[in-house]
Amino acid sequence: MTDLAPGLAMLERTAGYAAPEDFRPILATARASEAVRRFLERGDTPALLAHREALPRFDALLEKARRLFTADGAVSDDASPRLKDLRARLRRRRGEVTKKMSKLLEDRRDALGEALLVQRNERYCLPVLASARGRVPGIVHDRSGSGQTVFVEPLEVVEANNDLALAAAEERREVERLLAEFGRLVLDASHDLLRAVAGLAALDALEARVEFGELSEGRLPEISDDGSWVLRAARHPLLDGRLAPLRRRVLEESRPARDAVPLDLELAPNQRLLVVSGPNAGGKTVVLKTAGLFTLLAQSGFPVPAGAGTRLPVFTSAAAEIGDAQAILSDRSTFSSSMEILAEILSGTGPGALALVDEIGGATDPEEGSALAVAWLEALLARGGRVIVTTHLSAVKNLAAGREDAVCAAMEFDEATGAPNYRLHPGLSGRSHALAVAQERGIPEPVLARAREILGEAWRRREKAESEAEAALERLRRLEQAAAEERGRAAAEASRLASEREALARERAKLLEEGKSGFERARAKLAREVADELSRIRQDTARLAQASASRVLDTAEREAAAEETVLAEAEAHSEERSRELFIGGRARLSGSKTEGVVRAIEGDTVWLEVAGKRMRWKRSEVEAVGGGNPPPPAPRRPEKPAAAGPGLAARTLEVHVIGKNLDDAIEEVERAIDAAIVAGDARLRVVHGHGTGRLRDGLREHLRSHRAVASIRAADAREGGNGATMVELK
C-alpha cells in the first residue's frame, strides 16, 4: 500500500482524469482490502470480525477496472464497443499507410539513407538523404542530428496519414473519456479507500505488535485497577539479547548482543514517589526508561518483554526529563533547559499523570539543586501525580525516607570487583561509589587518596556502614534464592511421587481386573461342568444321584470359595474409595502410611487424629483400615421358620442351577416345584451358589410371588449357607 491522499487530490483537480499508471496504487489498495476481507471471513473472534466489517467493499470498482484495463495496465480494446471499433479502423488505416510506404521504400531506394519507416509527429516518413531531397516530393517534418538526413512525408501518403491521424485522435478521445469516467468512480469511493488504508494499517500494526511479542517472548501485562505497579524480569528492548537480530535489521546496530540483567520493580498503590540512587553507570537511567517505556507499550497494546506477574497502572499522561537538553544556539544551558522542562511537567500534572526525571536537581550548586528538587517533588505529589527520579542528592533520598507515600531503591554494586550489578534493591539508599567508578575509569591512585583525605573520617564510617548493609542485603537475597530453588525441588519431588502413586494405583487396578476376568471364566467353566454332571446324575438311581450330587456340590463350593477370593478383592478395590468410615475407627491417607483415628465425619470432610493432632482431609483421600469398634448394626427382625404343612413329609428335594442364567434357572426351579408337589414333598432346596448375587436375588424375588410357595429363607451353614435357598411349599 501507499498513501492514496495525493493521488485522490490529483483526481479532484483533473475532474477524475489520470493516466492508467496513476490508478495502479489505488487499485492495489482496493485489491488488498478485498483479499483481507475474504481472509477474515474465517475469523472466529469478535475482534477479527469487527476488523472485517470495518473494511469497505470494492467489488463494483474492481469489476469496472477488470473491464477497463489489461493485465499490464493498458486500456483494453473491450473497454467500450466504440473503442473496439475505433482501434479496428486504426489498425486498418495503419496497414494501408505502411503498405504504401513499403512500396515507396522500394521505389526511392537510391535516395534514402536507410531502408526503414520512421514516425515524426505521429506521421509516417521516409529517411531521405539531404543531398537527394529533391527526388522525394513531400513535407519535411524533421532533420537528423548530423544534418545528413531529413524525414520526409511523401505526397502520395499525406491523405492516408491524415486519415490515420484522425482515427488516432478519435481513439485517444475515447480512451480519455473512459479514464475520466473511471476516475470519477474512484472519487466517489475515495472515502472508502481512505477507510481501507486506515483499516489495513491498523491490522498491520496489530500484526507488528504480535511479531514484536513473539520475538521478545513478551506477554500482555495485567492492568492494575488499584494503582499497583509490578515489573517482573523486565528487559528493555534496546538491551534485550533476544531482539539483537531485529535491532541489527532496523537500527543497523553493530555492537555484539549480550543479555541485560532483568529488572524487578514493585510499587504499592500508595507509593507515588520512587527515588533511585546508586553509582554512575549502574543502571539508574535504565530503570527510569524501562518503567516509562513499558507504560507506553502496555497502553499502546504491545506485549512487554517481562515475566509472569507483571502489572501496570494506566496513566492519563506521561512526561520525561532525561538527558542533556543544552542548546548553544538558543542560549540555553543544561540547567536552564532542565528547569524549563520541569516547569512544563509540573503545570500539566494532575491525578493519573506520570513524570520521569533523571538526575533531578543536578547541573547546579548541590545545595540549591537539592532544595529545588525537594520543593518540586512536594508540589508534584500534592497535585496527585506519580514520579520516578534518579539522584545522587542526599536531600532527595531523605525526602523519600521520611514520607509514607515514597520509597528509596538502590542499584547494587559489587565491592569486590568495583563494578555495578544492575539489580534494584528497594528500601536502600544507594551510594554513588564515585571513587570506585573513578578508579575503574583510570583516575590515578594519588588523586583518589587525596579525595579520601578531603572527605574525612565521617565519610569513611558512613561508607563502611552502608557497605555492611549492602552485604547483608546480598546475603538475604542469596538465601531467598536458595529457598526458592529448594521449594522448586520439593514441588518437583512431590509431583514425581504423586505420578508414581497414580501409576501404581492403575497397575493394581489392572491386575485386579485381570484376576476378576479370569475368575469369571473359571466360574463359567465350572458351571458348565456341574450342569453336565447333573445331567448324568439324573440318569442314575435316586440314591446314587443324591450321593453323587452332594460330592459334586461340595467340590464346586470349595472351588468357588477359593476363586471368589480374587473376586472379593476386585470388588473391594472397586469400592475402596467408598468403604464405610465410622467414628472411632482407624483410617489412613490413600497411598501413604499416615494412619489415625476417625474423630468426626462432616459430609465430604473427615477429621483424623494423627499423633495427637487433628487433621482434616477430603473423604475421597481417606481409606478405612482395621481397628476400632464399628457401631452396632441396626436390629433386624428374625425370620420365623416356616413349618411344614400338616400331613406333608419332611423330605427335601434339591435343584441345582449354578452357572445358569436367570431365565433358565427359573424354568428349572418351576419344574422342580411341580415335581415336589406331585411327589407330596413340602420342602425344596435350591442350590444357586454365591457368585455375584444376581442369580440368588432374582430367584428369591420370583419365589416370593409364587402361588405354591409358603415361605423362603437362606439355608443355614449345614445346608449350604447363602449359596442355597430353602423353599417351604403350601
User: What is the reported pLDDT for 330?
Assistant: 47
Look at residue 401 in the predicted model and tell me its pLDDT: 84
User: Can you tell me whether residue 118 is helix, strand or coil?
Assistant: strand
Strands 622-625 and 724-729: unpaired
Mean pLDDT is lowest, of 33-47, 375-389, 460-474, 497-511, for 460-474
Q: In this predicted structure, what is the pLDDT of residue 66? A: 94
Q: Select 216-443's CATH number: 3.40.50.300, 1.10.390.10, 1.25.10.10, 3.60.21.10.
A: 3.40.50.300
In angstroms, rounded to a whole number, what is the distance separating the alpha carbons of residues 53 and 36? 11
Give the sign of the dihedral formed by CA 401, CA 405, CA 406, CA 407: positive
Give pLDDT tens digits for 213-225.
999 899 999 999 8
What pLDDT shows up at residue 101?
Answer: 85
The closest alpha carbon to 579, from 566, 556, 598, belongs to: 598
Please name the fold of domain 649-729.
Ribosomal Protein S8; Chain: A, domain 1 (3.30.1370)
pLDDT at 571: 46
pLDDT of residue 708: 87
CATH no., domain 81-185: 1.10.1420.10
pLDDT in tens, 196-209: 999 999 999 999 99
Give the per-residue pLDDT at 468: 63
Which H or E element spans position 729? Answer: strand 724-729
Which of 150-154, 480-484, 563-567 is the most confident on average?
Answer: 150-154
The residue with greater pLDDT, 521 or 200, is 200
Asked whether residue 560 carries a pLDDT value surpassing 80, the answer given is no
Q: What is the CATH number of domain 575-627?
A: 2.30.30.30
**Residues 19 and 182 sit within 8 Å (Cβ to Cβ):** no
Q: Inform me whether the pLDDT recorded for 74 exceeds 80.
A: yes
Q: What is the pLDDT of residues 327-348, one digit of tens each?
A: 444 455 677 778 888 888 988 8
Model pLDDT, residue 566: 47
Would the pLDDT of 638 be above 50? no
pLDDT in the model for residue 303: 94
Adjacency order of strands within the sheet including 406-414: 317-321, 353-357, 386-390, 273-277, 406-414, 419-426
Average pLDDT, the chain: 80
Q: What's the mean pLDDT in 367-391? A: 89
Domains in the chain: boundaries: 5-58+189-211, 81-185, 216-443, 575-627, 649-729
Give the pLDDT confidence score for residue 416 in this predicted structure: 55
Higher confidence at residue 477 or residue 86?
Answer: 86
Whole-number pLDDT of residue 642: 40
